[in-house]
Amino acid sequence: MTLSSAAQRVLKRLEREDAEERRLGKPREERARQVAPTTGRFLYALAASRQGCKVLEIGGSRGYSTIWLASAVAPGGGAVVSLEHDPSKAAAWRANVAEAGLGAHAELIEGDAFTTLPTFDARFDLCFLDAEKEDYERLFTLAREKLAPAALVVADNVLSHAKDLAAYSRARQSDATLVSVTIPLDRGLELSLLRS
């Protein structure tokens, strides 16, 4: 993996902060709610395998997964566009991505994804969906219009929030225009490939 020492340092700090917030029992809306480190490495591997990969991240939080993704795409000239609606998390995202030295490879769009996403002209090769669970279906529909042929969509929390997201996984797996599988890694990922 090609993670700079600055990126590694920020990731480790964010992991410590996340663990401490969980230990203290902070309300979920106040926590970073970031992916586990193994999911970060999985996202890195997916993004790094696509030359010039353009990534759409829906739910950037404080930038933990963004740093994994931007580190992966930077060597090949790719970029990450991250969406985040919470102003305090957006401010932390900017600080963390800058400290990791990845500002040239990641852009934050602040605001409601239902408003910002339809305005995009770009086509993305990879979409990482990690937002409010009740919004996944609508966000997938919006994001799909912005995806390139043979793009990948990775949705987080499909096993940890199975009650809310089982229907999302079933819908992806029954869609003949996709190849989709549930990956039992960490909190559960639904990996969907758009058939070209």
Res 1: pLDDT: 67
Q: What is the 3-state secondary structure (H, E, C) of 23-48?
A: HCCCCCCCCCCCCCHHHHHHHHHHHH
State the pTM of this model: 0.95
pLDDT digits (tens, 9 = 90+) for 115-155: 999 999 989 999 999 999 999 999 999 999 999 999 999 99
Res 16: pLDDT: 96
Q: 23, exposed or middle or buried, with CB in 10 Å at 0-12, 13-18, 19+? A: exposed
166: pLDDT strictly greater than 80: yes
Ranges of beta strands (E only) in 42-160 are 54-58, 79-84, 106-110, 124-129, 147-156
Q: What residue segments make up the domains of the chain, in order of their start?
A: 5-194
Res 189: pLDDT: 98
Kindly report the backbone phi and psi dihedral angles of residue 127, in degrees, each rounded to the nearest multiple of 5, phi listed first: -120, 130
CATH of 5-194, one of 3.40.50.150, 3.10.20.600, 2.40.30.10, 3.40.50.80: 3.40.50.150
Provide the token pair at 122.
Answer: 């770009």
Q: Quick one: average pLDDT of 76-82?
A: 97
Do 39 and 189 form a contact (C-beta atoms < 8 A)?
yes
Closest CA to 7 of 50, 37, 52, 42: 37
pLDDT digits (tens, 9 = 90+) for 7-39: 999 999 999 999 999 888 888 777 888 999 999
114: pLDDT strictly greater than 80: yes
Do 157 and 182 form a contact (C-beta atoms < 8 A)?
no
Indicate the pLDDT class of residue 85, thresholds 50, 70 and 90: very high
